[in-house]
Amino acid sequence: MEGLQGTSAPGEARKAWTRVRANLRESAGIRLFEQWLKPMELIDGDGNSDDGDTIRLGLPSAFMTNWVRSHYADRLMMEFKALLPRVRSVSIETRIAGPTPVVLTAESGTAAPASPTVASAVPPGPVAIRPVLDARFTFDRFVVDTSNRVAFNAARTLSEPGPPRFSPLFLHAGTGQGKTHLMHAIGHAFLEARPGATVICMSAERFMYDFVAAMRARDTFSFKQRLRNADLLLIDDLQFIAGKDATQEEFFHTVNEIMSAGKRLVISADRCPQALDGVEARIVSRMSAGLVADIKAPDLALRRAILTRKCADIDAAVPTAVLDLLAARIHANIRELEGALNRVVAYAQLTGDTIDLDFAVATLGDVLRGAQRRVTIDEIQKLVSAHFELKPLDLISARRSRVVARPRQIAMYLAKRLTTRSLPEIGRKFGGRDHSTVIHAVRKIEELRDTDRDIDTAVRVFLRELEA
Between CA 185 and CA 192, with CA 189 as vertex, the angle to 5 degrees is: 140
pTM more than 0.75? no
Q: How far apart are CA 381 and CA 393, in angstroms?
A: 9
For 10-119, the fitting CATH number among 3.30.300.180, 2.60.120.200, 3.40.50.970, 3.40.50.300 is: 3.30.300.180
- 275 Cα distance to chain centroid: 24
Q: Which residues pair with 90 in a beta bridge?
A: 55, 104
Neighbours of 264 (CB within 10 A): 25
Q: Which CATH architecture has domain 300-371?
A: Orthogonal Bundle (1.10)
Q: How far apart are CA 363 and CA 101, in angstroms?
A: 41
Is residue 182's pLDDT more than 90?
A: yes
Q: Is the peptide bond preceding residue 168 cis, with omega within 30 degrees of 0?
A: yes
Q: 180: annotated binding-site residue? A: yes
| pLDDT value for 252 | 92
pLDDT band at 140 (very low <50, low <70, confident <90, very high): very high
Report which of residues 21 and 28 the model is more confident about.
Answer: 21
Cβ contact 416:423 at 8 Å: yes
Three-class secondary structure of residue 113 per DSSP: strand
Between the ranges 36-50, 111-125, 159-173, 364-378, where is the mean pLDDT highest?
Answer: 159-173
Is residue 8's pLDDT more than 50?
A: no
Cβ contact 120:136 at 8 Å: no
Q: Where in the chain is the domain with CATH 1.10.8.60?
A: 300-371
Q: Specify the fold of 377-467.
A: Chromosomal Replication Initiator Protein Dnaa; Chain: A; (1.10.1750)
Q: How far apart are CA 78 and CA 462, in angstroms?
A: 48
Find, among 440, 441, 390, 434, the residue nearest to 412 by Cα.
Answer: 441
Q: How far apart are CA 459 and CA 455, in angstroms?
A: 6
| pLDDT value for 55 | 87
For 83, half-sphere exposure in the C-beta direction (CA atoms, 13 angstrom radius) is 19
Q: How far apart are CA 395 and CA 21, in angstroms?
A: 58
Q: How far is residue 204 from each of residues 157, 166, 167, 468, measured CA to CA in Å?
A: 23, 21, 18, 35
Contacts of 429 (CB under 8 A, 6+ apart): 377, 381, 396, 415, 421
Q: What is the DSSP string of 149-207?
A: HHHHHHHHHHHSSSS-SSS-EEEE-STTSSHHHHHHHHHHHHHHH-TT--EEEEEHHHH
Least confident of 10-14, 102-106, 351-355: 102-106
| pLDDT value for 126 | 35
Q: How far apart are CA 249 and CA 266, in angstroms?
A: 18
Tens-place pLDDT, residues 22-48? 888 877 777 677 777 888 888 754 334
Percent of the chain surpassing pLDDT 70: 86
Least confident of 12-21, 382-391, 437-446: 12-21
Contacts of 4 (CB under 8 A, 6+ apart): 10, 12, 13, 14, 17, 42, 47, 52, 55, 56
Tens-place pLDDT, residues 219-261? 888 888 888 888 999 999 998 888 888 899 999 999 988 888 8
Report which of residues 66 and 130 the model is more confident about.
Answer: 66
Tens-place pLDDT, residues 198-214? 888 988 888 998 888 88
pLDDT band at 3 (very low <50, low <70, confident <90, very high): very low
- 208 Cα distance to chain centroid: 22
Is residue 194's pLDDT more than 50?
A: yes
Find, among 46, 50, 102, the residue nearest to 77 by Cα.
Answer: 102
Q: 109: annotated binding-site residue? A: no
Q: How far apart are CA 237 and CA 341, in angstroms?
A: 26
Sheet with 41-42: list strands edge to edge: 41-42, 54-59, 89-94, 102-104, 110-113, 130-131
Q: Which CATH class is domain 139-294?
A: alpha beta
The per-residue pLDDT of the chain, averaged, comes to 81
Segment 249-277 mean pLDDT: 89
Q: How far apart are CA 408 and CA 98, in angstroms?
A: 62
Q: Is 266 left (phi over 0), alpha (psi -120 to 50) or beta?
A: beta
Burial 127-145, CB ≥16 within 10 A → b, else e? ebbbbbbbeebbbeebbee
| pLDDT value for 418 | 83
Segment 180-199 mean pLDDT: 90
Neighbours of 382 (CB within 10 A): 15
Q: Where in the chain is the domain with CATH 3.30.300.180?
A: 10-119
| pLDDT value for 373 | 57
Is residue 288's pLDDT more than 70?
A: yes
